[in-house]
Structure 1
């Protein structure tokens, strides 16, 4: 055989290469099956809480650009499709609304809008509202109708929701975690972390 041409792969594979590729394919198959099982369990937990789900419509391509292969390992789009299927079979629905029109991570119940860096994990407004950013966005998502955030409706229901969100935030702080990354992404100050 002559020298290898750049960009061309050899057609004939050795037995060792064939065996390695078969082992790799089996590992990928197992990983996919395990991920599907975990997604199914988490989807069941979500459906047990409620069958009417409101979520932001996310760009999974931008996730891929930002986080690379870790997105394919976690497969968020696959998870959402499982939740959608289970919600519909239970008589519910999944409502996806655009982030551009709602901007839940930037809006407060008082109507103010302030762009935050991704590292800012706590929503703190001059009107006095302080909450964990993701929990607060989830609360606001409840009040999106026809792709528009109903600020007045969110303001009126805030007094009942605030203690629940604060309790959920405290539980996340006091829950032992496998690593510091989860706690820091949840907006837990270093001094309050229990690891």
Structure 2
């Protein structure tokens, strides 16, 4: 038991060291392309790690094969798991801490937008409306263009209003075409280098 516990501790130690090194390098790359100000989204990571309390069923029915060979449509229960494992593997709070420390040394300001009012995952800068989407929907249609949801949210966060409460609609309209070009360049680079993120980009 003691030997296995020591091995487990060694694994956790190596994992923590790897994550920290990755964060340090990622923050350096981030700051190398940063302007005088970086905008980030304030998140309650502890809340995201908790399991959902309420038990509920999915809206869409799924076909389930019965013992007699017939197929029955059943609304399955939603999973209560949230983002605990993902947060543990990536440690985003640690990355933000490292980014702020390095940014301060370089004289770069790191400002947090007001997440509750900003609604980056729901906002459409063309219509000015906020529309809720399912977490499984990773793409959105904006002004006739298909955008990756996370990239578009980052674009909106990059263009905040002065009070950091909402996106600056005019700034977003002005810079949207540049965002589309950067998104296309990223996708082409990923495909040419064999990078795959099926859950985000569909390839």
Higher helix share: 1
Q: What TM-score do you get using the length of structure 1 for normalisation? A: 0.76
Over 3 Å counting, the alpha-carbon distance change for 1:158 and 1:24 in structure 2 is: closer
Q: Secondary structure of 1:185's match?
A: helix
Contact 1:131 1:166 in 2 (8 A): no
How far apart, in 2, do the equivalents of 1:156 and 1:68 lie?
38
Aligned residue pair count:
168
Larger radius of gyration: 1
Contact 2:148 2:200 in 1 (8 A): no
- Give unpaired runs (5+ residues) of structure 1: 1-16
Question: 2:11 aligns to what?
Answer: 27
Runs of 4+ in 1 over 4 A off after TM superposition: none
Question: Which consecutive unaligned segments of at least 5 residues does structure 2 have?
Answer: 51-81
CA distance in 1, matches of 2:124, 2:192: 26
1:70 & 1:162 partners in 2: Cα distance?
Answer: 28
Q: What is the SS of the residue equivalent to 1:42?
A: helix
Match of 1:156 in 2: 174
**What is the CA distance between 1:122 and its match in structure 2?**
1.1
Hey, what does 1:102 align to over in structure 2?
A: 118
TM-score (norm 2): 0.73
What is the root-mean-square deviation in Å for CA atoms of aligned residues? 2.1
